[in-house]
Amino acid sequence: MASKRSKIAFAGTQEQEQSLRRLMDRLKEQPGALMPVLQGAQEIYGYLPLEVMEIISVGMDVPLEEIYGVATFYSQFSLNPKGQYRISVCLGTACYVKGAGDVYERLREKLGIAGGECTPDGKFSLDACRCIGACGLAPVMTVNDEVYGRLVADDVEGILAKYGA
Ligand code: FES
């Protein structure tokens, strides 16, 4: 269970926990409440660390394994925090055939993290995504709202340097 966990320590606040508890109190008796509670928890914390899943497990009286199973099954949930700069590489077909896999590999190598993870300083997170509708610019990656297209792996270093890597 721990292999994809972030190296960043959990730093939830009292206010966040109170919001989560209020949400659980409101939804607890409703059928199918786990999904909206997990969605709400991710909105409150930005991601679903183990500590939050434990609070939900106790609060909703649902085994932790079940919560972990749901959180890892649906791609809308993230078990790791996002970085200040959220990097996303499109691995859709058009991008993939034009070498997006090499770009993604180079990013993993340069940042020292796997896909879905965040650097220990909280600066960069890396994800793969599906087609973002910019196939004419393939291969494409985004950093927050900035789009970079027609990439080759050797562009990676220069782009990261713009963000202080
Ligand atoms: S496949 Fe990458 S933008 Fe469409």
Domain ranges of the chain: 14-73, 85-162
Q: For position 75, what pLDDT does the model report?
A: 81
Ligand 1 centre to CA of 118 (Å) is 23
| Among 52, 58, 29, CA closest to 39 | 52
Measured CA to CA, the distance from residue 93 to residue 131 in angstroms comes to 8
Residues of the chain with pLDDT under 50: 1-5
Residue 77: CB atoms within 10 A of its CB come to 17
Q: For position 7, what pLDDT does the model report?
A: 62
Candidate CATH numbers 3.40.50.620, 3.40.50.970, 3.40.50.720, 3.40.30.10; the one for domain 85-162? 3.40.30.10
For a mutational test of ligand 1's pocket, the pick from 88, 97, 140, 148, i.e. the residue with the most ligand atoms closer than 8 A to its C-beta, is 140
Measured CA to CA, the distance from residue 27 to residue 58 in angstroms comes to 14
Q: For position 3, what pLDDT does the model report?
A: 41
* Atom number, ligand 1, closest to the C-alpha of residue 100: 2
Q: Write down the pTM of the prediction.
A: 0.75
Q: Pocket around ligand 1: residues whose beta carbon is below 6 Å from it?
A: 90, 92-95, 131-135, 138, 140
* Atom number, ligand 1, closest to the C-alpha of residue 137: 3
